[in-house]
Structure formats: C-alpha cells, structure tokens
Structure 1
Amino acid sequence: MDFELRILGSSSATPSANRHHTAQVLTIGNQYHLIDCGEGTQMQLMHYKIKYQRICNVYISHLHGDHYFGLAGLLSTMHLKGRQLPLHLYGPPGLSEILSLQLKYSGTNLCYKLIFHELDTTCYKKIYEDKGITVHTIPMEHRVPCCGFLFREKQKPRPLIKEKLPSFLTPPQLVRLKWGEDIRDEHGKLLVQNQDVTQEPKRSRSYAYCADSRYKPALLPYLQRVDLLYHEATFADDLRERADYTFHSTARQAAELAAAAQVRQLLIGHFSVRYKDLTPLLAEAQEVFPKTELAIEGSIFCVRD
C-alpha cells in the first residue's frame, strides 16, 4: 500500500516566484489526505496531476492565511466539477464560520456534503480512524490556535506460512492467527502456536506534520521514532531570537527535535521569502541531523514498510 507525501507548497507568510504557500498531499493506499491549503493549492494539484476529487479529508492547522486561503476556491471547484462524495474538513474554531460566510455571499450551495470537525488544538487527540490508519492532533505553540497532525498505520496482520498450516484450521481460526493469536481447543489445549505458522508483520508507517510553532521539546513524546517528520524551519539559526518572537523555528531547532525524537527522516519547510537559496538552511539542519531534506515543491517522499 502506498504511503507517500507530495509537497505542493513550502513558503511562509508571503509566496515567492518559485514557492507557493503551505500545502501537502499524503497518499495512503487509495486515499488522499490534504494537509493545509494555502493560496494556489488547486493550481498545484492540477499542475502535478493529482485528482483532487479523490481527496477524502482536509486538515487545516491554523487560521493564518498562508495555510487556508486556497480552501474556498478548492471547495468551489469541487462543486463546479460535480463532486458527489462527502468531504471531511478538520480545522480550528472559526474555520466553519469563515467558509459559511464565503459560500453564503457567493451564493454557493455545495452539491456534496461538507462535514466539519472542529479541533481542540491544545491537546493530543484522535480525530480520525479507519480500518488502516489513525490521525491525531499535535499541539503546537503559535500566535493563534494551531495544531499539527500525526498519521499512523495500524498494526498489520501477520503473513501465514501456508506450507506449515494444519489442514483442520477453519477460516475464523486463520484470521485469528493473522492477528497474533494461538489456536486452542475448547478445553484450552494448545493446537497451533502462532509463531510456528506466521511471519513477522510488515512495519506500520507514520508521518508527523508539525505546523507553525516555536521550538517545542514538549512534542517529543508524540514524535518518537516516526518515519517521516515535517517541521517548519522559517529561519536560519542566526535569527533564532526573531524565530522565537514570531513563534517560529529555525532549521537547526527542527533538526535538534528530530534527533532527540530519533525519527527516520526530517523534512524542513515553511521557508521565509528572504531565503532565495535554501542550501544554507539544509546545511544547518544536516549538521545536527544528517537525514534531512528540503520540502521542495513537487517532491515526493515515500515511506517504505
């Protein structure tokens, strides 16, 4: 099953000639999860040939415009293109009111169901679950209510070793073996030991999106050993005081957090428009955490199981 991230935008408050505002698409299996929706997101979706009608959930981290100004346009285009599937929208308090006013005064009555989920941005909380994944909020520290998102695959079934399976096993018993159970008779006698007829399951994968925030070591318990971590890196470390004052982070701080959390890979993004060349930011982060890459628009990052 695919588990990959596509970067659509990586600029901070103002866009630049070659960087759009924040937006990402996380593909898990056949589902598209849109994370933030800065201005121009629908154009980026079309540019990279991403079928936006397949987006099942949209997650908005906070109400600074560079993270959601593209949302009303995208919702309208989905309507004009005849979307039928419901769309789930997860965002902070106020987002529902904003969108309702935009739709009201534009005379737009969506032809699909928009289901809004208001988030508590102050805590770690499960907000979505299906048969394959869970999504939790991660509390950020920013000038307005803001949260990140943690996507985790659920435990995967254990592959059966067909040549070792006794012929008397029933389909329900095979299912129990896949989920790690031993098989016993009605008296409790062991018939089949799980580890004798199954293999270790494929590893469950994870992605953590840390939106705008000051450097926050309190995030470490939520980020431990995630496969892929995105963390904002608005400034280089020579502007650490500026970063703290504006409730942002530096590239070095993002790397320090990744190293402490022992993540497998770090992406840095949300770059200030002052940086035409991003190489110094990457070098700064890699000094602390070598497995760092830039969240360059159009880049795809695959998480292997």
Structure 2
Amino acid sequence: MKLTILGCYAATPRTITNPTSQVLEIKNQMFLIDCGEGTQVQLRKHKIKFARINHIFISHLHGDHFYGLVGLISTFMLLNRVNDLHVYGPKGIKEIILLQLKASGSFTGYNLYFHELDSKESEVVFEDDKVFVKTIPLKHRVYTNGYLFKEKNTQRKLNIEAVEKYEIETCYYQKIKSGGNITLDNGEIIQNELLTFDPEAEKSYAFCSDTLYNETIIPIINSVDVLYHESTFLESEAHLAEKTMHTTAIQAATIAKKANVKQLVIGHYSTRYGNIELFKEEAQTIFEDVLLADDGKTFEFQ
C-alpha cells in the first residue's frame, strides 16, 4: 500500500505548499483523493501516470479540496483519454463541473460518471473484487465525507514444496489458492491448510479531512492500518479549530489512540505555522506512531 502526498496544507496555495490532494495505490489500483489546485502539476512532477487514475474521491466542496478537478478532467481530454472516469463527491459536484465544461465549450471524449453523495450514514460507494471504499461522515462547515479504503480477502499463498510432494498438477493451483481442498487419484483428500500459507493481512487506509473532533467515526475506522487525519492547528489555537470546525494535532492523535489504529499520518496544516515538526511533537504526547505528511512525500506500508 503506497500513499503519495501531492498537497497537504490548508486554505490557499503558496509557492512552497499545495492544498489537499493525494494518491493511494492499493491492490495495484490507483485512487486520487481530493483535487486541490495544482494537482495535475504535482502528478507530473512526481511521475504519476494520469491514465492509471480512474476513480477520484472528493471529500467536500471547499475550494482547497476540489478546485483542481475541472482542470484535470480537461487535461484528460487533451491527452485523448479513453478510459471511463468516476468522480465521487457531495451532491452538487456534477452541476459545478458540467457548468464549467459547458461555459468553456469543453467536452470529454471519454465517459465521465458522477456519483453524488448526500447520506449522513456510512455507505459503500465503490467495490470490486479487490477493494471496497466506504464513506466516513465528518463534521465540517459543509457536507463532508472521509473515505475508508480496504482490501478484500486476499488469496492464500501456494506452498510449492507441498504441492510438488503430492504431485498436484498446475491446473489445480488456482483452486488451491482460492481455498479449495484437493482429492488425489487414490481418493485421499488433501486439506488446503497443508498446501498453502495464510494470505497477507488485508490492508486498510482511512482519509479524514476536514472535520471537527468527532468520536462518532471511531467504529468505522477502528483498527485501520493507516489513518490520515487533518491537524490544522496546534493546541494553542484550539479555539480556532472549534470555530472553523477543524482539528488540532492532539485531537487527531486522540482519535487514532481511541480507534486503535496502527499508524497516524497528520496533515492539512494551517500555513500560519513555520515548522510542521511541532505538529508531530504535540501528537506524539498522545499517540506514538505519527508520520508527518508533506508535499511530495511518499509512504509505503508493508
């Protein structure tokens, strides 16, 4: 599981920082999460192939989380994209994007699908045979969702020595990896556990930005491998966090601890601060395993 941070700062873009956007690679699939201004430039800068992005998840309709979307959609057209593109986000996103395309006389030569969300309950919004994605209802000034990405059951690993010992033909390997037992020519049944190793644990990633401190998300994100949680302010500005419906580093760490997550990545820093290390220092007073997001940083989770 690989996470590339394209942008992780709050509010307006600067020459040295970018608003929220990140790419998650899980089970050989690539998902774009939020699309602030400058996203497509960051994609190029970090050599991420545009053609691999088929699903875009937008948390909410504040500009620093989606103002780069129409530009990216237009660039896909200029690059002669043919693959379908699916956009998931709050109700209203379809109208906003299509109005911009219409007003500029633009079009897409590929199928563009919008999946508009308005439920205040967690729901599965994407699912295939490898991954599912469900919403994490958040509390912000406008309707907002985080997203939980989770691998589905992975296949068992073939024990080559065992299958060779029982002289099992290769045509049965897929059945074995899928959990099936094997009956030999003499009628003996070989249990799957003798032929395979346990699969790798299912990996999971939760994205939570932007939001007020909100313990109702804990059952949804409980025990995830990696939690990205906004930490716009330090504790000295906790009053601003409450006023603007954001979170402090300590509050993000508290959520991570109560949800028993394995690792916490914090980001969405207010640009009032000159040293983001302070966020890590505060968060680690509550939760030890804290990683600092920063523009261009890549994390690989084993």
Of the structure 1 ranges 288-297 and 118-127, higher mean CA displacement relative to structure 2 is found in 118-127
SS of the equivalent of 2:236 reads: helix
Q: Cα deviations across residues 131-187 of structure 1 (Å, max 9, x unaligned)? A: 211111111111111001111111111112233233467846x444323344579xx
Measure, in 2, the Cα distance between the counterparts of 1:160 and 1:61.
40
Measure, in 2, the Cα distance between the counterparts of 1:121 and 1:18.
36
2:147 to 149, 166, 169: 149
Percent identity, aligned pairs only, is: 45
Match of 1:266 in 2: 264
Match of 2:240 in 1: 242
1:38 to 36, 39, 46: 36
Match of 2:100 in 1: 102
Of the structure 1 ranges 233-242 and 163-172, higher mean CA displacement relative to structure 2 is found in 163-172
Are 2:278 and 1:276 aligned? no
Offset at 1:125? Answer: 1.1
Normalising by structure 1, what TM-score? 0.92
Q: How many residues align?
A: 298
Q: Cα deviations across residues 204-245 of structure 1 (Å, max 9, x unaligned)? A: 111110110011111111112211110000011122222122
- Structure 2 counterpart of 1:293, one-letter code: L
Normalising by structure 2, what TM-score? 0.93
Measure, in 1, the Cα distance between the counterparts of 2:50 and 2:275.
31
Match of 1:289 in 2: 287
- Structure 1 counterpart of 2:61, one-letter code: L
Measure, in 1, the Cα distance between the counterparts of 2:244 and 2:57.
23
RMSD: 1.9
Q: Say whether the 8 Å CA contact 1:121–1:147 is kept in structure 2.
A: no
Of the structure 1 ranges 43-52 and 248-257, higher mean CA displacement relative to structure 2 is found in 43-52
Q: Say whether the 8 Å CA contact 2:26–2:151 is kept in structure 1.
A: no
Task: Identify if the C-alpha distance between structure 1 residues 168 and 11 changes in structure 2 by more than 3 Å, giving closer, same or farther.
Answer: closer
Measure, in 2, the Cα distance between the counterparts of 1:168 and 1:299.
46
Unaligned stretches of 5+ in structure 2? Answer: none
Measure, in 1, the Cα distance between the counterparts of 2:150 and 2:213.
23
Match of 2:75 in 1: 77
Measure, in 2, the Cα distance between the counterparts of 1:95 and 1:233.
25
Unaligned stretches of 5+ in structure 1? Answer: none
Of the structure 1 ranges 73-82 and 23-32, higher mean CA displacement relative to structure 2 is found in 23-32
Offset at 1:302? Answer: 0.8
SS of the equivalent of 1:288 reads: coil
Q: Say whether the 8 Å CA contact 2:158–2:196 is kept in structure 1.
A: yes
